[in-house]
Structure 1
Amino acid sequence: MKKLFFVLVLLIPLIINAQTIKTDVLVLGNKEAAFAAGVQASESGVNCIVFTQSDGFKIENLNRYKTNGVIKAFEKRARKSLKIADSLALPVMSNQITNAVIKNWADSSKLFDVMNNVPYQEIKRTGNGWEIKLTTEKSIKARVLVIADGLDKVMAALKMTPLKPAETKSLNYNETFYRTTLAGTTGKAEFLSLYDLLIPNQENLLYIPADHLELGQAAGATAAYAAFYQKKTSESVLKAIQGELLSYKLSLMPFDDVEIADSNWLAMQKIGITGMIKAELKNGKAYFNPAQAVTYDEIKQPLKDYYYKAQIWLDDHKNELINLENVISLVCYVGNKSVDATKAELEKKWNKSYKFDSKYDLKKVLNRREFSVIINEYLKPFDTVNVDKMGRVIR
C-alpha cells in the first residue's frame, strides 16, 4: 500500500499494443535528477518510464547521498541484486553497479521502466499529455513529461521557446515563501518551492537540473500527483505533495543539523515548515539547533498567525517561560484538550515514545526539539492549516 495520497496502485498495463506504449510519467535524462524523479513517481504508485538517450544512467556513487526514500528504495534493490545482507555495508556504487541494479529493478517492476539508447523523432502534446514518436508507427504517450537533461533536443522537438530549469531559493525569513517548499538542498540554506517547479502556461511539464537528486524526487512526486488524480500540474495540492515527500523521508527544510534518522526528524521538519521555529542562518547553512531553549519572543508571532486562540493565551501570559507546564496550558487552551489528561499522556510518552534525553519536569524550559514534538502532536499546524502560494497562512 502506498502512503498518504497514493494509497492505491494503478495497475494500468504498460504496453497497450505493439505500436503505442502508455505510461503516466515520462522522464528524460540519465543523471541523478532523472533517476530520483523516476523512482519517486513509481514509488508513489504510478507508471513511469525513464528515457535515458544513452547506454544507461551516468551516476557515480549514490552512497554519498543521505538515505531518503529514493536512496532507501535503491539500497533495498541493491542488496537484493548483489545478495548483500542488511548487516553489511554496501560497496561504493560505481556507475556500472548502479546500472546493473537499476536494470534488475526495472525488469521486475510493474511501475518502473528504463529505456536506453532509443532514438526518437518528435515530441508533441496530445491534449494535456505528451507523445514521443519513436518511429512513424511507434510512440510513447504520457500524462506528465519531466525533463531532466537534453533540453536542446527536447526544445527543438517541442518547438517551444527556451525554458529555465526549476531553481532553488535561499531560505529567507523576511518572507513566508519557504512554507511552499518541496525539497531542501543538502549542505545549503536553500529550498525548492512548488511554485518555482511549476512552469507558467505549460501544463504537465516539469524541467529540473540534471544533477540535483532532491529536486528530482520533488518533481517525481509532483508528476505522480497529477497523473494519479488525472489533474493538470497547475492543480497540484501543496500539502498533499509535501506530505508524500515527507513520508519518503525527503527533507523539505534544509536543516544541516537534523539527520533523517533522528527519531524526531518529522516533527522538526513540519514545525520548521510552519516557521514556528526558525533556523539559524550562518555561513550559507541553516541550523535548527534542536537543543536550544525556546523563548517567548520567537514563538509569539508565528503562533498568533496560525491560531486566533493563541493570541489570547499569549496576551494573558506575556513573557512567560516556555516551560512544559506553560506549553501544556497553551496547547490545551488552543486545542480544547484536558490539561490533566495531556500531562499524563506526555509523561508516559516523554522518554519511551519521543525518546527525549531529559526527564519529564513541568518546570523544564523546553528546547526546540521538545517544543516541536509537542506542538506537532497536539496542534498539528502543518497538517491542519493551509497556506497560499506565497506561504501566507489561510484562516
Structure 2
Amino acid sequence: MKRLFFVFAFIIPLVIHAQTLKTDVLVIGSGDAAYTASFQSFKSGVKTILLTQKEQLDLDKITATHKVFYQDFLKRETENANSLNIAKPKPDRKKPLKVTVDSTLLLNVINNTPYTEIKRSGNGWEIKLAKDKTIKARILVLADNPDKLMGALKIASLNPASSSTLNYTENIYRTTVTSVASAGASFLSLYSLLIPDEENLLYIDKDQFEIGRAAGATAAYAAFFNTKTSLSNLKSIQGELLAYKHALMPFEDIKPVDSNWLAIQKVGVTGIIKAEIKQKKAYFNPEELVTYDEIKQPIKDYYYKAQIWFDDHQHIPINLENTISLVCYVGNKSVEATKAELQKRWNKNYKFSSKYDLKKVLTRREFAVIINEYLKPFDVVNIDKTGRVIR
C-alpha cells in the first residue's frame, strides 16, 4: 500500500449496453490532460469513465515526453479482464490503509462519443449521450470545451486551473499538487484547481499533462471518501501523487530516479531548503553545502523548540554533528542512538557518496534527507490554504 486511498485496478474497453452508467469520476476530453486525469483517478482507487470526443489517440502523433505514459495506458487498456471473475472484498473506507482491490474499480473508456447535455444531478452530474444513454457521475473532470457546461450552470465564464510561478515571498507553493515543468519553475496549488461555489467539478486545460494528474488524484479523493471537492485534504492528495513519483516541486536537477527524490520533494514543499530560481527554472542544487542562515528561520517557523536551539547555537557550521544535535533536541531523540542509526544508513540506505563524518558540513541533499527522516516536517506539520504553518 502506498498512501491513504490507494488501490489498483484493471482497465477494460467499455461497450455501452445499459441505459444509465454510474461511475465515481467522469473525465471528458481527448487531450493529454484527460488521459492523465482518468489514469490517475483509477489508479487512486475509484471507478472512472473516460469519455473522449475523438478517435483513440495515435501514439505516433504524440511527443516523446508523453509517449511512455500513453504506452503504459494503452497496454493496460487491452489487458485481459479475467480477474473480474474473482470475488474480492470492497475497500474498507474506515481503514483506508488496508483497502484491497475491488473488481468493480475499473477504468472504462468510451471513445469518440459526443454528449448532448450535461447537468447537475443532486451533488453529482448527469451526462446524456446519443440513443438515450446516460452517464451519472459523482465527480466531473472537464478537459474539453466548457460551453455546454456553462449553459447548464448559467454562468458566463469558466476558467481552467492555472499554474503559478514559484515565488518564495509567498507560502502558497506549500499547497502544490503538481509541478508544471512545461511552464518552467511553476506549480499548481490545490486551491487553484478547486472552483469556488462549484462542488465536485474540476476544469482543466486539455493540454496540461501535469495538471491532469493532480485533477485525477483530487477527484479520486473526493469520490473515495464520499466528500466534496471543497473538503479535499491537501496532505493526502500530495502524498498520493508523490507515491506515484509525480513531482510537487519543479526542481530541474532532481529526477524521480534519484535515490533521495522523495525526501527532497517533501523538504522542498516545506521551504526549509529553497531552490535557486535561474532563467525561469528552479534548481535545488543538491550537492552545494547547506548554510546556517538559509535553514535557521524556516526551521524555527516549523518548530517552537528550534527557536531555543538556534539561540543556543549561534552561527555554527551545519555539519553532521550539529544537525544531529538539532534534530534530537527538536524531536526528543537520543543523540547516541541517532548517530549509530545514521552511520548504519549513510551509504547503504541513503546512498550518499560521502563518508560518515561528524565534522563534515552537510550538502543540501544530506541535510534534506536527515530533516525528512527525523523531523518529518512535510508529514506532521499542517498548513492552511495560504501555506502558513499551523502550530
TM over 0.5: yes
Quick one: distance in 1 between partners of 2:127 and 2:360?
62
Quick one: distance in 2 between partners of 1:29 and 1:212?
12
Tell me the matched-pair count: 366
SS of 2:115's partner is coil
User: Which residue does the alignment assign to 1:45?
Assistant: 45
Relative distance call for 1:45 and 1:250 in structure 2 (3 A) is same
Task: Give TM-score, length-normalised by structure 2.
Answer: 0.88
Relative distance call for 1:147 and 1:236 in structure 2 (3 A) is same
User: Which residue does the alignment assign to 2:171?
Assistant: 176
The CA deviation at 1:45 is 0.4
String of CA shifts for 1:306-346, please: whole Å, max 9, x gaps.
Answer: 00000000110010100000000000000010000000000
The CA deviation at 1:113 is 1.3
- Residue identity in the other structure for 1:45: G
Does 1:141 pair with 2:140?
no
In structure 1, stretches of 5+ residues that fail to align are 78-99
Quick one: distance in 2 between partners of 1:304 and 1:240?
25
The CA deviation at 1:111 is 1.2
Quick one: distance in 2 between partners of 1:167 and 1:177?
13
The farther-off stretch of 160-169 and 247-256 is: 160-169
Relative distance call for 1:222 and 1:260 in structure 2 (3 A) is same
User: Which residue does the alignment assign to 2:93?
Assistant: none
User: Which residue does the alignment assign to 2:4?
Assistant: 5
- Residue identity in the other structure for 2:293: D
User: Which residue does the alignment assign to 1:350?
Assistant: 346
The equivalent position to 2:260 in structure 1, one of 254, 258, 264, is 264
The farther-off stretch of 336-345 and 2-11 is: 2-11
Does 1:115 pair with 2:89?
no
User: Which residue does the alignment assign to 1:186?
Assistant: 181
User: Which residue does the alignment assign to 1:25?
Assistant: 25
- Residue identity in the other structure for 1:186: A
User: How do 1:154-303 and structure 2 match up within 5 A?
Assistant: 154-186=149-181, 188-303=184-299
Relative distance call for 1:58 and 1:172 in structure 2 (3 A) is farther
Quick one: distance in 2 between partners of 1:226 and 1:16?
26
String of CA shifts for 1:85-113, please: whole Å, max 9, x gaps.
Answer: xxxxxxxxxxxxxxx64641597895111
Quick one: distance in 1 between partners of 2:307 and 2:15?
58
User: Which residue does the alignment assign to 2:34?
Assistant: 34
The CA deviation at 1:296 is 0.6
User: Which residue does the alignment assign to 1:390?
Assistant: 386
Checking the alignment, whether the CA contact within 8 Å between 2:179 and 2:210 is kept in structure 1 is yes
Does 1:104 pair with 2:78?
yes
Relative distance call for 1:31 and 1:285 in structure 2 (3 A) is same
The CA deviation at 1:267 is 0.3
String of CA shifts for 1:208-256, please: whole Å, max 9, x gaps.
Answer: 1111111000000000000000100000000000000000111000000
Quick one: distance in 1 between partners of 2:133 and 2:116?
10
Does 1:129 pair with 2:127?
no
SS of 1:305's partner is helix
User: Which residue does the alignment assign to 1:61?
Assistant: 62
Checking the alignment, whether the CA contact within 8 Å between 2:321 and 2:359 is kept in structure 1 is yes
The CA deviation at 1:55 is 1.4
String of CA shifts for 1:36-65, please: whole Å, max 9, x gaps.
Answer: 000000000001111111112366336414
The CA deviation at 1:160 is 3.2
Percent of paired sites with the same residue = 62
Quick one: distance in 2 between partners of 1:66 and 1:344?
45
SS of 1:352's partner is coil
- Residue identity in the other structure for 2:2: K
Checking the alignment, whether the CA contact within 8 Å between 2:6 and 2:43 is kept in structure 1 is no
The CA deviation at 1:17 is 7.8
The farther-off stretch of 198-207 and 15-24 is: 15-24
String of CA shifts for 1:255-312, please: whole Å, max 9, x gaps.
Answer: 0000110000000000000000000001000000000111110001100000000000
User: Which residue does the alignment assign to 2:102?
Assistant: none
User: Which residue does the alignment assign to 1:92?
Assistant: none
In structure 2, stretches of 5+ residues that fail to align are 85-104
Relative distance call for 1:66 and 1:306 in structure 2 (3 A) is farther
Quick one: distance in 1 between partners of 2:9 and 2:62?
32
Quick one: distance in 2 between partners of 1:300 and 1:345?
25
Relative distance call for 1:107 and 1:31 in structure 2 (3 A) is farther
Task: Give TM-score, length-normalised by structure 1.
Answer: 0.87
Quick one: distance in 1 between partners of 2:119 and 2:173?
34
SS of 1:277's partner is coil
String of CA shifts for 1:141-186, please: whole Å, max 9, x gaps.
Answer: 0010001122234434554331000000000000100000001111
